[in-house]
Amino acid sequence: MSRGLGAEQMAFGANYTPRHGWFHSWLELDPSSVAADFAALKALGLDHVRIFPLWPLLQPNRTHLVARSLQDVRTVAQLAGDAGLDVHVDVLQGHLSSFDFLPSWVETWHRTNFFTDPKAIAAAAELISALTEVLADLPQVRGLSLGNEIGQFAAARHPEQRAITPAQARAWTSGLLEHAARVWPDGRHTHSYDDELWFVDEHPFTPDLATQLSPTTTVHSWVFTGATTRLGNDHPDLARFGRYLVELAQAWSPDPTRPVWVQEIGAPTPSVSADQAPDYARRTLVELVGSPAVEAVTWWCSHDVSRSLADFPELEYSLGLIDEHSRVKPIGRAMAELIDDVRSGVVGRESATGRRALVIPPLEHELRSLTAPHGPVFLEWLALGGDPAPALLPVTQATGPDLLEARGITTLIDPLNLQTSESNPLLLKR
Amino acid sequence: MSRGLGAEQMAFGANYTPRHGWFHSWLELDPSSVAADFAALKALGLDHVRIFPLWPLLQPNRTHLVARSLQDVRTVAQLAGDAGLDVHVDVLQGHLSSFDFLPSWVETWHRTNFFTDPKAIAAAAELISALTEVLADLPQVRGLSLGNEIGQFAAARHPEQRAITPAQARAWTSGLLEHAARVWPDGRHTHSYDDELWFVDEHPFTPDLATQLSPTTTVHSWVFTGATTRLGNDHPDLARFGRYLVELAQAWSPDPTRPVWVQEIGAPTPSVSADQAPDYARRTLVELVGSPAVEAVTWWCSHDVSRSLADFPELEYSLGLIDEHSRVKPIGRAMAELIDDVRSGVVGRESATGRRALVIPPLEHELRSLTAPHGPVFLEWLALGGDPAPALLPVTQATGPDLLEARGITTLIDPLNLQTSESNPLLLKR
């Protein structure tokens, strides 16, 4: 691994879901409550948090930024820093746990495709600049993320889809990332995607964006998007899905040393039952730590959503490491123990050399579904077992010795017979 | 007029549009700025304001009310009271000046028809109860209004229509008004409608609701909805459109003594050019004061929308009595002078007896468009002139002497020949 990152240097964090009032707490920020939440996360051994202001509260009009809301973001970031946590700040929310938060100036009578509307893009840049202004001098704030899985607003399944082309998705992402780099050159700015980027053939946000823009590839891993359907609830291999996504992200990456940040991963019921969750979490994390590419894992989420809040999908109420009464849950203890084990060397990286690789169909945007949980690749990869987990190698790269060496791959496994059959039906899927 | 309200007892107010930050100022309430705004309105001779909290800030989750947001509403109401202004508080915004404000729990993935969903209706009742809790002890807070023109979400023209039947519209309105009366029996609680209620044949919110529920009929009068198209910009008769709506509301009312609150009326460009606005405002107000039924007029709006805020329809920037730099505009001075003239008896009521009435087609929901600005009734009514303005009398009531007497009508005018022709095409429109 050219980055030379040892497992003990890995970052472990949580996506911060405020215990009191969830993200609606931005409407009545209680610094002492937030400070207590952060202290509890630090006590688990975590080193960072992602925080999520809500777009309509920051920028309720296209040309109006709310100073108090910006100051509240700074306050929360400071509190995290005071607790010894690094902070990553998401810009455009956008979407959180099934709820969409869009300002009125992009909705109904003012509906606009904010991915392509030049005025909306300029406004997003203004918001990035404003957040930079209130955050960049805080040493523990590491950077911005453009928006939490905001690409789903462009997905066909969204009830108010903003349809765009891949070129438009690239222009939006690269333009705003470049703007962030310009106004905040010391920040480490990222963008995030749900797994439709990797799995849905026609999704306008593509793996190219994930693996070529920003300094790290972000992965959001949720077993309920397909893995559970394929494997069944509480299947032991569900704990390997996150690692599978990491390997897939690496396979798409033109740079074999590119890091991966597993920015969201959790233990959702009923895919993972409550009593299985601690074991699932540990095995998931061991798999992720094993990858020489993974630089950070950020659990979703810090605190259970309070049962006093209505209308969340059932699974969202129990994703926390800590419950709504501030008690560390078994899964929180499991993560704390794993972090201890990593720091003390009990759990470590797999070797970055001498790796096995599963030969897979060419990685093309129009063939993404071949690598989805319902496709042939996932099960073949699982069948190879872990320890160490195999890489994924597109058949189109299987003959390049330099590339194999760069990826540390010494053994090719080709159960789909992709190398020997030019007319393999998998290659003709479309 | 059985209520015995003299013109000098009429109420004059403004719909309060905060000078700093418009309604987004709820996100960073500045009491001193609000106090200055109210003092300026009081100095014009106004006696009341309507205030408009935003629904998503009060109730961002179906079962979560934000204490600080509720407290902010109380603070603003107190500041208005301190300035000597009565206060009416709108509950569900909903919609303001082309922008929709809906909480995420009724939108996209959680989309619900909040007019019919029992959980959403229960949540609206909870919000009414919560506002009652923080407001009812303030002596100058007069009551609640369910929501500002919220019925437009049920209109076919709305891009995210919540389609409902008239029975559902009635159930929603009466249920919430009854709830408000139960929890706040001393309050005077109303509901409001744009003029589609009077003019659009298929609109599920009907004149029955406006004229039978709550203690007063509310009228929102905007010449740009059709009167300008019919008459032309700056036509002198545009100043009579508000009065026409009052007469139409009276014609629909089963109670001839029912009061009317002209809750929104303004001077929008280009229908009314800036240099004509003071004269338009005075003539509009003289017409409204003339009606023995009108108990209150609330101008839209108090303060111009700042040019620093984007995307408002052009007309919305210049509707204030006071400009964005706190200067009273000519239209503000015109309203102040008119109020002086009413208080001193220079301008007064027309007689409630000996009135002329224009005979009009039957008032049926399916025939509402006959009374719209593009229909035959409006021009005939205008042609009869004012001073005093004629009443509107459905032909179906033209033979009832008791009713004529109750309405103070002594002269019937029938230019459409409705009384003499049973096959009049106007009656067969549909």
pLDDT at A1: 30
Query: What residues in chain A have their Cβ under 8 A from chain B's Cβ atoms?
Result: 21-22, 24, 27-28, 56-57, 60-64, 66-69, 98-101, 104-105, 107-111, 119, 158-160, 308-311
Cis peptide before A215 (omega within 30 of 0): no
* Chain B interface test: which of A99, A119, A305 (most B C-beta within 10 Å): A99
Detail the DSSP E strand segments found in A133-269: 141-145, 217-221, 260-265
pLDDT at A422: 60
pLDDT averaged over every residue in chain A: 95
Q: What is the largest CA-CA distance in chain B?
A: 64
Q: How confident is the model at residue B182 (pLDDT cuts 50, 70, 90)?
A: very high
3-state percent helix, strand, coil for chain B, nearest multiple of 5: 45, 15, 45
Q: Which of A28, A67, A101 sits opposite B67 (nearest CB)?
A: A28
Q: What's the pLDDT tens digit per position in A106-129?
A: 999 999 999 999 999 999 999 999
pLDDT at B422: 60
Cross-chain residue pair B28–A308, CB shorter than 8 Å: no
Query: Which residues in chain A have their CB less than 8 angstroms from residue B60's CB?
Result: 24, 27
Q: Report whether pLDDT(A289) > 90.
A: yes
| CA separation for the pair A65, A67 (Å, rounded) | 6
Q: Report whether pLDDT(B126) > 70.
A: yes
Q: Kindly list the distances between the CA atom of residue A372 and the CA atoms of A72, A199, A317, A381, in Å, as whole numbers in the listed order.
A: 40, 5, 27, 12
Torsion sign (Cα): B184, B188, B194, B197: positive
Q: Report whether pLDDT(B423) > 60.
A: no
Q: What's the pLDDT tens digit per position in B13-41?
A: 999 999 999 999 999 999 999 999 999 99
Cα nearest neighbour of A93 on chain B:
B104
Q: Which of B28, B64, B98 sits opposite A21 (nearest CB)?
A: B64
The residues near A359 (Cβ < 8 Å, ≥ 6 apart) are A393, A394, A395, A398, A412, A413, A414, A416, A418, A419
Q: How confident is the model at residue B419 (pLDDT cuts 50, 70, 90)?
A: confident
Which neighbouring-strand residues pair with A380?
Answer: none
Q: How confident is the model at residue B420 (pLDDT cuts 50, 70, 90)?
A: confident
pLDDT at A401: 84
> What percent of chain A shows pLDDT beyond 70?
97
Q: What's the pLDDT tens digit per position in A137-170?
A: 999 999 999 999 999 999 999 999 999 999 999 9
Name the amino acid, one letter, at A2: S
Q: Which of A56, A110, A119 sits opposite B98 (nearest CB)?
A: A110
* Chain A interface test: which of B19, B24, B101, B194 (most A C-beta within 10 Å): B24
pLDDT averaged over every residue in chain B: 95
Query: Which residues in chain A have their CB less than 8 angstroms from residue B108's CB?
Result: 100, 158-160
> What percent of chain A shows pLDDT beyond 90?
92
Q: What's the pLDDT tens digit per position in B186-221?
A: 999 999 999 999 999 999 999 999 999 999 999 999
Query: Which residues in chain A have their CB less than 8 angstroms from residue B25's CB?
Result: none
Cross-chain residue pair B310–A68, CB shorter than 8 Å: no
* Chain B interface test: which of A160, A311, A315, A316 (most B C-beta within 10 Å): A311
Q: Which of B68, B100, B105 sits opposite A28 (nearest CB)?
A: B68
pLDDT at A428: 45
Radius of gyration of chain A (CA): 21
Q: Report whether pLDDT(A425) > 80.
A: no
Q: Report whether pLDDT(A368) > 60.
A: yes
Angle between helices B277-290 and B241-252 (to 10 degrees): 30
**SS3 state at A327:** coil
Cα nearest neighbour of A71 on chain B:
B28
CA distance B23 to chain A (A): 10
Task: Count CB atoms within 10 A of the CB of residue B270.
Answer: 12
Retrieve residue A235's tokens.
């299947």
Cross-chain residue pair A24–B105, CB shorter than 8 Å: no
Angle between helices A277-290 and A241-252 (to 10 degrees): 30
Cross-chain residue pair A24–B66, CB shorter than 8 Å: yes
Average pLDDT over residues A340-360: 95
Least confident of A4-13, A295-304, A312-321, B71-80: A4-13
Query: Which residues in chain A have their CB less than 8 angstroms from residue B109's CB?
Result: 98-100, 159
Query: Which residues in chain B have their CB less than 8 angstroms from residue A28's CB?
Result: 66-69
Query: Which residues in chain A have their CB less than 8 angstroms from residue B122's CB?
Result: none
Q: Report whether pLDDT(B139) > 90.
A: yes
Average pLDDT over residues A74-89: 98
Average pLDDT over residues A264-278: 98
Retrieve residue B160's tokens.
């995210």
pLDDT at A424: 53
Retrieve residue B199's tokens.
């003019």
Q: Which of A99, A105, A111 sits opposite B159 (nearest CB)?
A: A111
Question: Which H or E run includes B287?
Answer: helix B277-290
Q: Which of A27, A56, A110 sits opposite B311 (nearest CB)?
A: A110
Query: Which residues in chain B have their CB less than 8 angstroms from residue A310's CB?
Result: 61-64, 105, 119
Q: What's A14's DSSP letter?
A: E
What pTM, to 2 d.p., does this model score? 0.96
Cross-chain residue pair A61–B109, CB shorter than 8 Å: no
Query: Which residues in chain B have their CB less than 8 angstroms from residue A307's CB?
Result: none
Task: Count CB atoms within 10 A of the CB of residue B363.
Answer: 21
CA distance B44 to chain A (A): 29
DSSP secondary structure, B153-189, as one string = GGSTTSTT-----HHHHHHHHHHHHHHHHHH-TTS--
pLDDT at B428: 45
| CA separation for the pair B245, A337 (Å, rounded) | 72
Query: Which residues in chain B have their CB less than 8 angstroms from residue A67's CB?
Result: 28
| CA separation for the pair B337, A75 (Å, rounded) | 49
Q: What's the pLDDT tens digit per position in B270-321?
A: 999 999 999 999 999 999 999 999 999 999 999 999 999 999 999 999 999 9
Q: Report whether pLDDT(B154) > 70.
A: yes
**SS3 state at B394:** strand
Q: How confident is the model at residue B398 (pLDDT cuts 50, 70, 90)?
A: confident
pLDDT at A157: 94
pLDDT at A6: 85
Name the amino acid, one letter, at B88: H
Q: Report whether pLDDT(B367) > 80.
A: yes
Query: Which residues in chain B have their CB less than 8 angstroms from residue A27's CB?
Result: 57, 60, 66, 68-69
The residues near A43 (Cβ < 8 Å, ≥ 6 apart) are none
pLDDT at A235: 98
pLDDT at A159: 94
Task: Count CB atoms within 10 A of the CB of residue A344.
Answer: 10
CA distance B328 to chain A (A): 24
Q: What's the pLDDT tens digit per position in A228-254?
A: 999 999 999 999 999 999 999 999 999
Question: Which H or E run includes B248?
Answer: helix B241-252
Q: Which of A63, A158, A309 sits opposite B64 (nearest CB)?
A: A309
Cross-chain residue pair A27–B119, CB shorter than 8 Å: no
